Structure 1
Amino acid sequence: MLYGIVSGLHASAMCGALLVLVANELLLVWARRGQQGPARIAIFANRFAGVLISAGILAGIVVVFLGGWSLLTPWLVASLVLVGLLVALERKLVRPWSMQAQPMLRGAISATEVKAFAGNKRALVGRIGMIMLFALIVVLMVTKPELNPFV
């Protein structure tokens, strides 16, 4: 029973985070027109996605131990490698961009600055890459494919 609850929490948090990340991108498309409201909501959505990701990863670790999964299970190893890539991508491309959001949250930013913030190409590449990696991780977690080519 505990496994089912924690597994459900893990799946809900991870799928919720993926949906929030996609919604974040849609808000930023709107913000590229210089509108502060969608940009602010996108910043908060990005933070909320981070909380969901942290909760999902923590629940996932618990699920691995409760479920008796080997840490060398191929789909789990692949997922962990992808999570590592996701974290590296976030730190290198997305975090510096999101740190620029502080003035926007205080309301001290012009429409031109909102456009520049929302249109940052480096951050866009990072965010889209994160969404793609995240979707791949979700697919691996759901399908649990046998990735051993020698079987």
Structure 2
Amino acid sequence: MDNLDRGILDLLRKNARAGYGDIGSVVGLSASAVKRRVDKLVADKVIRGFTIQVDPSIDGMSTEAYVELFCRGTVAPDELLRILSGVPEVVDAGTVTGSADAIVHIRARDIPGLEAALEKVRLAPNVDHTRSAIVLTRLIHRGAE
């Protein structure tokens, strides 16, 4: 991957619907050269997919929280993945350093929906407890990268 590929990726992050000609005019390549590079980035799994992002408040999922997850004993990341994959309200999660085992981002329609999602997480046999922070105002969101 070179600087031209990075430039193409930056432009696609801003607008995944940008035309190859438009991208090429910015990075200094022809539309066909941009297409070949994008195809290669897809084939090499640098680009994992093209998608849309829907405003969660329009979609009815405007209540969100970041949750620290604390487990009993040592729990493998695969086990945490299994637990959290069963909760559709979990939109992002990762293992972390520090006293918590994982940080989980949950989106729900309302506070009762958030509470129900948290209860699903807490019922997993390896989960000891959680600590939640409800988002009041989203300040920056750059999307998935």
Do the two structures share a fold, i.e. TM-score over 0.5? no
* More contact order relative to length (CA 8 Å, sep ≥ 6): 1
**Higher share of residues assigned helix:** 1
Task: Report the TM-score range of the alignment, normalised by the length of the smaller protein.
Answer: under 0.3
TM-score if structure 2 supplies the norm length? 0.25
Structure of higher CA gyration radius: 2
**Higher share of residues assigned strand:** 2
